[in-house]
Amino acid sequence: MSSKERPTLGGARIKTRKRNIAAPLDPTTFADAVVQIYLEHEGDLELVAKSIESSDLDFSRYGDTFFEVVFIGGRTQPGTIKPEEGDRHPHAVLNCEPARQNILPSVLYIQKILRRRPFLIKNLENVMRRFLQSLELFEDNERKKLAIFTSLTFSQKLSGLPPETVFQPLLKDNLVSKGIVLSFITDFFKEYLVDNTLDDLIALLKRGKIEDNLLDLFPIQKRTTEAFAEHFSKEGLGALVEYNEKKMFDVKLKDMKTSLTTLIAENADISEVIETVKQRHKESKLPDIEVVRILWDAIMDAVQWSGKNQQQNSNLALRQVKTWAKLLDSFCTTAKLQLEIMYKIQIQCYEDAKLMKLFPEIVRSLYDEDVLAEDTILMWFRKGSNPKGRQTFVKSLEPFVKWLEEAEEEE
């Protein structure tokens, strides 16, 4: 019998890997712990902040719950703003008086928390978005508190809060139609402008992507510039009214210029173009002088300029002026408007090198086409007030003016 040992199977023993078992969410216990900190310090936010900073509470899992406690005083029922069972404290944002001196401490308190835990900014966004989308569920004075709080977060440059998060939820049709959004945004504007300029507000609205559609904040039956002016003037926000009027004015100018340039570039029938301009002029209520300026810009913008050939550019410019002279003549009906066209020509010739030497030829062409009267040309020559290139252009126009004066003497 062999003395050899029986063979055995070899190999490494494989250890069974334990599964990571996540602890179940327990937001109620978290909320109760935060509420107790508030109650222990009787709402002293300095002491509350220190206690929260030194606590071992799991903010990474319960960030939304934390801000519910900050705003409401406790947890809310899922998908609502209604309180849920559990402890509550009376020092929440919505329990304050609706005044900046009462709400500012909460904003500064949140700022301290976010400096230590910047990841919580996402949770603040979540809760604010939910509340703003549910404004109809709040009382009037609670909405005012939210408006004040929101304005102060931007005035204090609360770490990383995107304006788009705040403003876009307000554009819900049901909130707008009830006038809730208009009331909220009015309180917001008034509060924000206490510490900031109108330019600051406009920059904020641009970042929030609502600067171009402020009228969308009004119920649809009041969505007019007149209603905008009446409402915000009554609220003491005249500077905002002036800004909006200028903006709407610029939009009308741009729209008219764009459509007119397209018609001219497509060589539309000149009578059709004249009729289109008259109709848009009537609808937009733009001043005559602005329409005349647009006409000249659109006529010249439609030219397909040559890159290098100066003579070709000169011919193109003069041909364009002659082709569309009737359009200019239809609207340059007074000496003031004719003089304005001369100033437009002067400025463009001064600023555009390829047109610099064409000033006298353009003026002569418009005279021949009966757009510019002799008296207008002489007035510009003798008393024109725009200084851009004036000495050069006066000198270049001297031969033509001399011819006009001699013809006048002969008559």
What's the pLDDT tens digit per position in 225-282? 899 999 999 999 999 999 999 998 988 899 999 999 999 999 999 999 999 999 999 9
How far apart CA 219 and CA 221 sit, in angstroms, is 6
Amino acid 140: pLDDT = 94
Amino acid 87: pLDDT = 78
Amino acid 8: pLDDT = 54
Name the CATH architecture for the domain at 247-410: Alpha Horseshoe (1.25)
- Per domain, the residue ranges of the chain are 27-208, 247-410
Amino acid 16: pLDDT = 45
Which segments in the chain show pLDDT lower than 70? 1-25, 78-85, 159, 307, 408-411
Let me know if 43 is exposed, middle or buried by CB neighbors in 10 A (0-12, 13-18, 19+): middle
What's the pLDDT tens digit per position in 329-374? 999 999 999 999 999 999 999 999 888 899 999 999 999 999 999 9
Retrieve residue 410's tokens. 């002969």
**77 close to 84: Cβ distance less than 8 angstroms:** yes
Report, in angstroms and rounded to the nearest whole number, the Rg of the chain calculated over CA atoms: 35
Amino acid 23: pLDDT = 45
Amino acid 1: pLDDT = 46
Amino acid 21: pLDDT = 42
Amino acid 83: pLDDT = 63
Amino acid 176: pLDDT = 94
Q: Which helix (H) or strand (E) holds 227?
A: helix 225-234
Nearest to 143 by CA among 151, 107, 194, 312: 151
Amino acid 7: pLDDT = 54
Angle at 196 between CA 192 and CA 199, to 5 degrees: 105
pTM for this entry: 0.75
From the centroid of its chain, how far is CA 147? 19
